[in-house]
């Protein structure tokens, strides 16, 4: 057969496959409907495994792995369709619906907010952008921000979560899993770092530089060029590092901090804009004890597990592509006490105002060993 003849045959097979696919999808809904009326779970892992094993054997060694993957994807599409067609309100979906209906049309502009650091830190700037009329409570660290929100000392907390140059703030991701808080807002800031010390001090006089580990990482190229004799020491916060330098009796120490800290803490700038890249942005999140979903919320963050089997993560991610959801972030964190098992943090371009999205997340809430909605929020 020539190429055109082969394509005619393939097109004929495609038409037959499409017709059979449509028939199968309708039947899969009927099966799910019958199971639900009988009080049985829609997802039957044992039956799927039996079919996959049979397909693998019947396909033969040349096509076994391809046939198995084909049917795995088919099952995934069927489950997504079933979840959409048979969607019914659960406690989880009702909580989402309540948040959508009860949240105000505009995000809040005022309130008490916890912020890790000192006056002049970048997180304070993020606080002022997100909640311009807020009252800021400065606390020692990220854990204290979550505690302040948990205990009702503050309505909100603002934290950095990701930097374009130095990656994720892993401690914040771990704290999101440990605390019952929700992300309700998000923003991005351009971040600039300066090296500053006491007035009258020269760069060659510096023996130790203090800053937050994220800031040190974002300025690694400049700092490494200072030589091995200059020691880099992590500090709890960039602005706190600047304040510590200003109050210290040691003239040989410096801080990497935001430019405004030089004036705030009476320091001189030894070098400006020392970050690795001018395209240096940090994402900040605003957390709250109460789930709120404002109109225009375009980003969803979730924590979930994936089955610890070959293709387990791929199967999870396929669920999102099945309904056209774009993933913008995938971060894994080890599960404490488990042998190389991980939780996955995902950011999705989606809105819970969309019923298809609510149906999918409700299905994941029921089917995954662990699933938690971190929030659906606007980010600007």
Q: What amino acid positions are annotated as catalytic residues?
A: 282, 284
Q: What's the rounded Cα separation, in Å, for the pair 90 and 182?
A: 19
What is the sign, positive or negative, of the torsion defined by CA atoms of 345, 348, 351, 354? negative
Q: What's the rounded Cα separation, in Å, for the pair 98 and 76?
A: 29
Q: Is 310 left (phi over 0), alpha (psi -120 to 50) or beta?
A: beta
- Nearest CA to 214 out of 158, 148, 270, 281 is that of 281
Q: For residue 107, give every residue at least 6 positions away whose Cβ sits within 8 Å of its Cβ, in sequence order, or none.
A: 130, 184, 185, 294, 378
Structure tokens at 183: 């992300």
Q: Is 119 exposed, middle or buried (0-12, 13-18, 19+ CB in 10 A)?
A: middle
Backbone φ and ψ of 198, nearest 5°: -65, 155
Could you tell me where the DSSP H helices lie in 184-343?
Answer: 213-218, 220-224, 238-247, 260-264, 312-322
Beta bridge partners of 115: 138, 158
Greatest pairwise CA separation for the chain in angstroms: 88
Contact, 315 vs 321, CB < 8 A?
Answer: no
Q: What's the rounded Cα separation, in Å, for the pair 176 and 262?
A: 33
Beta-strand (E) ranges in the chain? 110-116, 133-139, 156-163, 167-168, 182-190, 194-197, 208-211, 231-234, 253-257, 268-271, 281-288, 299-305, 326-334, 342-349, 371-377
Backbone φ and ψ of 69, nearest 5°: -65, -40
Q: What's the rounded Cα separation, in Å, for the pair 53 and 30?
A: 24
């Amino acid at each position: 057969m020539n190429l055109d003849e082969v394509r005619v045959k393939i097109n004929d097979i495609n038409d037959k496959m499409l017709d059979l696919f449509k028939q199968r999808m309708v039947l899969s809904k009927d099966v799910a409907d019958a199971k639900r009326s009988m009080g049985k779970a829609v997802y039957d892992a044992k039956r799927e495994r039996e079919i996959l094993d049979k397909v693998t054997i019947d396909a033969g060694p040349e096509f076994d792995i391809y046939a198995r993957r084909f049917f795995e994807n088919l099952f995934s599409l069927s489950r997504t369709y079933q979840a959409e067609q048979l969607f019914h309100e659960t406690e989880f979906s009702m909580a989402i619906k309540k948040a959508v209906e009860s949240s105000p049309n505009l995000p809040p502009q005022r309130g008490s907010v916890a912020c890790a650091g000192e006056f002049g830190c970048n997180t304070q700037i993020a606080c002022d952008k997100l909640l311009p009329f807020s009252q800021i409570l400065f606390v020692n660290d990220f854990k204290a921000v979550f505690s302040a929100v948990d205990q009702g000392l503050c309505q909100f907390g603002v934290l950095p979560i990701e930097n374009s140059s130095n990656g994720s703030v892993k401690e914040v991701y771990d704290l999101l899993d440990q605390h019952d808080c929700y992300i309700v807002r998000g923003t991005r800031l351009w971040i600039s770092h300066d090296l500053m010390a006491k007035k009258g001090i020269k760069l060659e006089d510096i023996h130790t530089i203090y800053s937050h580990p994220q800031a040190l990482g974002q300025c690694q190229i400049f700092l490494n060029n200072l030589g091995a004799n200059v020691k880099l020491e992590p500090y709890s916060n960039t602005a706190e590092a600047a304040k510590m330098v200003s109050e210290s009796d040691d003239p040989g120490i410096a801080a990497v901090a935001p430019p405004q800290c030089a004036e705030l803490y009476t320091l001189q700038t030894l070098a400006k804009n020392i970050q690795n890249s001018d395209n240096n942005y940090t994402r900040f999140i605003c957390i709250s004890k109460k789930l709120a979903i404002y109109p225009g919320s375009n980003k969803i963050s979730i924590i979930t597990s994936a089955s610890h089997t070959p293709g387990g993560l791929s199967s999870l991610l396929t669920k999102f592509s099945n309904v056209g959801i774009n993933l913008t972030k995938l971060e894994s964190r080890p599960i404490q006490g488990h042998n190389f098992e991980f939780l996955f943090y995902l950011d999705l371009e989606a809105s819970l105002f969309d019923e298809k999205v609510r149906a999918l997340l409700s299905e994941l809430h029921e089917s995954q060993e662990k699933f938690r909605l971190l929030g659906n929020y606007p980010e600007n």
